[in-house]
A = this chain, B = another copy of it.
Amino acid sequence: MAEETVDALARAQAVDGSAGAAHRHDALLSARAANIKQSAVRDVFEISMQPGLVSLAGGNPNLASLPLERLGETARRIIAERGLEALQYGGGQGTLELRTQICEVMAAEGILDADPDNVVITAGSQSAQDVAAKVFCNPGDVILLEDPTYVGALNTFEAYEVDVQPVAGDEHGIIPSELRTRIAALQAEGRRIKLLYTIPNFNNPSGVMLAPERRQEIVDICREANILVLEDNPYGLLKFDGVLPAPLRAANPEDVLYLGSFSKIFAPGLRIGWALVPAHLLQRFYLASEAVTLCPPTFNQLLVSDYLGSYDWQGQISTYRSLYRDRCAALLSALDEFMPAGVSWTRPEGGFFVWLTLPEGIDTYPLLHRGIDAGVVFVPGAAFTAAKGPSNKLRLAYSAVPPETLREGVKRLAPVLAEAIAAL
């Protein structure tokens, strides 16, 4: 199961981090340490790893279609022939070669003017979120975000004592007028809003894509309010069909800090992500990143560079698009077939996730355990929101599960949800 899912389940249970009895070292903990959530659901994971259980919880990419033999040979050659470089410290910003290639990846994503000098390679894009919070946020500062949003970002921001504030959205993403209203209300309270964190393409967990016609207006609203946009786009290239909408960053180089990742289009186990930073913020961001990890892993960068330089990485993305399109279709079809009345869900055009809404009054957290009893695992919705209290939502991931297993998982889930609805 993806580690992100562990976080999500921990967060869904909302247990605070103070484990066990008091200790004299408790006095040594920082104020922010209290915001770092403890996982009290490790037992659930152990259970969820049991054979026979269908996991619709983990947002892992499907790696089976990667050319593993050839990638192994590439890895061999890098270490045998360039080992003194591959195994040595490197520059804190990442290699120029990979930063240059990342600009080509961003061109495919719709950003045509990226300069390798403004790219900072990070230990996964999670690390770039951490650096952004560190560089921009004092305790109590506000980050606006979608509700629901990525559990890892919530955890990272809250570890800096950031006040994460949701902005209302619909099936086309953040609603510009709602953003305007929210900013005005928070500013009227004297709050300092630093960032808008958004996953415009196939949001994790909702699968929602921000409508192209809303994008520039959202950036304009933020610019007027002097709020930097933190755009997280790991799924952008994984649109099933048609033209990709331009990222918010595309026409707004000064107002958007853009985060990218190889975790969904290549290999999360290499932990290589990046930030494209507005030029005037580059030094701050880069040096803060260096203070956390010194430098990104050199071998990993060389392997990604070879993959981008010598393999048909765009063809692989086409493969992924149709693979995930088929899986998403299988999941949606199973939902249509099996879900009881009262349950609704999103119909994503890309990415890894479908988001289910149950009738008001149902808490999906206790249903997790009933689902496991029925042989299926999902992530309860409370994981993906800063709001306290129960959630009537849940996330299903189709990325790592073959179509027939998706169908079986939904078939097992349906009576659990039906029973909860009947008990209302």
**A253-289 near B? 1/0 per residue, CB < 8 Å:** 0000000000100111111000000101101100110
How far, in angstroms, from A61 to B89 measured CA to CA in the complex? 9
Quick one: which of A48-93 are within 8 Å of B by CB? 60-61, 63-64, 66, 68-69, 71-73, 75-81, 83-92
**A31-42 near B? 1/0 per residue, CB < 8 Å:** 111001111000
Q: Does A134 sit at the interface, judged by CB under 8 A?
A: yes
Q: How far is the CB of A298 from chain B (nearest CB, A)?
A: 4
* A7 near B290: Cβ-Cβ < 8 Å: yes
**Which of B2, B10, B78, B123 is close to A271, meaning CB atoms less than 8 Å apart?**
B123
Q: Does A311 sit at the interface, judged by CB under 8 A?
A: no
Q: How far is the CB of A410 from chain B (nearest CB, A)?
A: 24
Q: Which residues of B contact A85 (CB under 8 A)?
A: 269
Q: Does A387 sit at the interface, judged by CB under 8 A?
A: no
Interface segment among A17-25, A164-172, A360-368: the answer is A17-25
Q: Does A30 sit at the interface, judged by CB under 8 A?
A: yes
Quick one: which of A285-299 are within 8 Å of B by CB? 287-288, 290-299
Query: How many identical subunits does the complex contain?
Result: 2
Q: Does A228 sit at the interface, judged by CB under 8 A?
A: yes
- Number of residues from A at the complex interface, CB < 8 A: 95
Q: What are the 10 A-B residue pairs with the smallest beta carbon separation, nearest first?
A: A72-B80, A269-B298, A76-B76, A68-B83, A87-B267, A72-B79, A72-B76, A75-B75, A87-B269, A271-B297
Given contacts A3-B90, A3-B91, A60-B88, 17 further A-B contacts (CB under 8 A): A7-B290, A19-B284, A28-B194, A28-B195, A31-B138, A33-B284, A39-B287, A60-B89, A71-B79, A75-B75, A87-B268, A123-B271, A123-B293, A124-B294, A126-B294, A127-B293, A130-B292
